[in-house]
Amino acid sequence: MEIDDNMMQVDDGIDEISPMTLGHYYQNLFPHALYYKWLNYNGKLATTEFTHREFSFTIKDGIYLRYQSFKDSEEFQRELSRLSPSKIDIGAIFTAPPKHAKSLQPGVFKPVSKELVFDIDMTDYDEIRTCCQGGDICAKCWRFMTVAMHVVDRALREDFGFTKIMWAYSGRRGVHCWVCDERARKLDDAGRKAVAGYLSLIRGGAEQGKKVNLTQRSAQHPHIVRSLEIVEEYFEDVLLVDQEILLTRDRWTKVLNALPDEELRKTMDAQWSKRPDRSSVDKWSELIDAVDKRAAKKGSKFGLNTFERDIMLQMTYPRLDENVTTHVNHLLKSPFCIHPKTGRVCTPIAADQFDSFDPFAVPTLAQLLREVNEAPSQSGSIAKSTSMAPYIGVFEDFVSTVLPTPVNSQPSLDF
C-alpha cells in the first residue's frame, strides 16, 4: 500500500478533523477517478460539464470559498489536497468557468444545468418523532429516512422515468438524492419546482393540525396510491411501536387535532386519559374503530372517512426541503466529504439497501485513518482496503450507469 505521507495514529471521534487529517483523506481515500467520471459525464477528456461546474469549499476557520472550478481531474485533486476542505458543495454548470465569474460582464455568467437534487432532513420530523430532536438521530427515527427514500425513489423512476439516481447519506441526520439523467439536469427552475410540487404533500406549520388535504380525485392518483401502500407497510412499526405517538396526552393531542370532529376528539381524549398507559397500537385501533363508526353515522362527510389515510400520510410521508430542489444554482453537499459534526463520510446508498442501511455503521475519518495505519502494505486502491470499500462499490455501480443518452430515448418533461 502506497501512501503519500505518513499516516497519523488517531482515535475515533471528531477532534481529529483537521486540515492535516483531511489532507490525508483527500490524498489517499477520496475516490477521485470515479468522482470525475461522474461529474464529467463523458469520457476522460474534460468537458464543460466539469470545467464549468461550481464547487464551493469550506476551509479552516469556517472560510467559505465559492465559485471554485477546475480544468481537469488533476487540478481538482491537487486543490482538494492543498485546501483540505471540511465541506464540499456541488453547484451548477455555468456558461463559463465559475472561477472567472468576477471578470465577466453582468448577464454573461448564468447557470445552465445541474442534477435534480432533493434534501430530506430529520429535523423536519421533529414535531413527530419522540426519540430524538434537533441534530440527534437513532435507529428508530432513521426509519423515516427509509420510508422517504422508498417513496421518492419509486416516484422518480415510475412516474418520471428517471434511471440514473444516486442516494447519499448526509453524514449526520438526513439523505440527499441526485438525479443525473440528462433530462433532469436540463430542467429550468420552473420544471424543478413542478417536480418538487408533485412530490410534496405535507403543507402547514407545526401548529396546524391537519397537513394533508387530498381531494377525492387526487387521492386516486397513482403516486398517492403507491405512496400510501409504502406508508401502510411501515406505519405501525415506525409510528406506533417505535415512536409511540399516542403514549402520552401531549402526543395523542397532536393526532387528535387532525381529527375533523370536535366531539370525537373530546371523547377519545377523555377515554385515553382514564387509561393513559395503554400502548399506541391499542389506542390507534380504538381511534380508527371510533372514526369508522362516526363516519358511518354521519354518512360520507368528507374528512372523517379519510382520516386514517390522511393521518398516516401526514405522519410518515417524506418531508422535502423544496428550496434545495427548485433552483438550478442551489448548492448541495458532495458525496464523500466528511461531515464536520460527526466525522462520518457522506456515503452513497444503494437503492436495494434502503432498509438495511445503517448510518451508525458509516466509517468516520478517524476510523479510516486508523484502518490505513493498521493494514498490511499492498498494491491497489487504499480505500478498498478499508471500511469505505462497500460504499465505493455502490458509487462505482452508480457511475457505470452515467452514460450519454440519446435525446429521443426518453419521454420529454414539459411543465
According to the model, what pLDDT value does residue 317 have?
Answer: 97
Our measurement of the distance from residue 56's CA atom to the centroid of its chain's CA atoms, rounded to an integer in Å, reads 19
Q: Assess contact for 342 and 172: CB atoms under 8 A.
A: yes
Longest dimension (CA), the chain: 76
DSSP SS3 for 407: helix
Mean pLDDT of 368-373: 91
pLDDT at 2 > cutoff 70: no
Distance (Å, rounded) from C-alpha 336 to C-alpha 291? 48
Mean pLDDT of 378-383: 70
According to the model, what pLDDT value does residue 380 have?
Answer: 60
According to the model, what pLDDT value does residue 412 have?
Answer: 56
Condensed to tens digits (0 to 9), the pLDDT of residues 85-107 reads 999 999 999 999 999 999 998 88
According to the model, what pLDDT value does residue 414 have?
Answer: 54
**Confidence category of residue 378, pLDDT binned at 50, 70, 90:** low
Q: Assess contact for 116 and 285: CB atoms under 8 A.
A: no
pLDDT at 233 > cutoff 70: yes
According to the model, what pLDDT value does residue 322 have?
Answer: 95
Distance (Å, rounded) from C-alpha 238 to C-alpha 211? 19
Which amino acid is it at 354? F
Q: Assess contact for 86 and 338: CB atoms under 8 A.
A: yes
Our measurement of the distance from residue 241's CA atom to the centroid of its chain's CA atoms, rounded to an integer in Å, reads 24
Would you please indicate which residues are annotated as catalytic (active-site) residues? 54, 119, 121
Q: Assess contact for 143 and 238: CB atoms under 8 A.
A: yes
**Confidence category of residue 409, pLDDT binned at 50, 70, 90:** low
Condensed to tens digits (0 to 9), the pLDDT of residues 122-155 reads 999 999 999 999 999 999 999 999 999 999 999 9
According to the model, what pLDDT value does residue 13 have?
Answer: 39
Mean pLDDT of 58-77: 95
Mean pLDDT of 234-256: 97
**Confidence category of residue 296, pLDDT binned at 50, 70, 90:** confident
| Grid cell at residue 222 | 397513482
According to the model, what pLDDT value does residue 126 have?
Answer: 96
Give the bridge partners for 65, in sequence order: 57
Query: Torsion angle, CA of 122/125/128/132, rounded to 10 degrees?
Result: 30
Distance (Å, rounded) from C-alpha 9 to C-alpha 371? 10
Condensed to tens digits (0 to 9), the pLDDT of residues 324-357 reads 999 999 999 999 999 999 999 999 999 999 999 9
17-21, 161-165, 194-198, 245-249: least confident range = 17-21
49-58, 173-182, 251-260, 368-377: least confident range = 368-377
Q: Give the start-end residues of each E strand in 142-198.
A: 165-169, 174-179
107 dihedral zone (left: phi>0; alpha: psi -120 to 50; beta)? left
Mean pLDDT of 203-223: 85
State the burial class of residue 1 (Cβ atoms within 10 Å of its Cβ: 0-12, 13-18, 19+): middle
According to the model, what pLDDT value does residue 6 have?
Answer: 35
According to the model, what pLDDT value does residue 5 have?
Answer: 39
**Confidence category of residue 373, pLDDT binned at 50, 70, 90:** confident
Count of helices and strands (H, E) across the chain = 15, 9
Condensed to tens digits (0 to 9), the pLDDT of residues 384-394 reads 889 999 999 99
pLDDT at 11 > cutoff 50: no
62 dihedral zone (left: phi>0; alpha: psi -120 to 50; beta)? left
Mean pLDDT of 191-205: 93
Our measurement of the distance from residue 306's CA atom to the centroid of its chain's CA atoms, rounded to an integer in Å, reads 29
Average pLDDT, the chain: 90
Q: Assess contact for 95 and 109: CB atoms under 8 A.
A: yes
Residue 249 phi/psi, 5-degree rounding, is: -65, -40
Burial 107-124 (b: 16+ CB within 10 A, else e): eebebebbbbbbbbbbbb
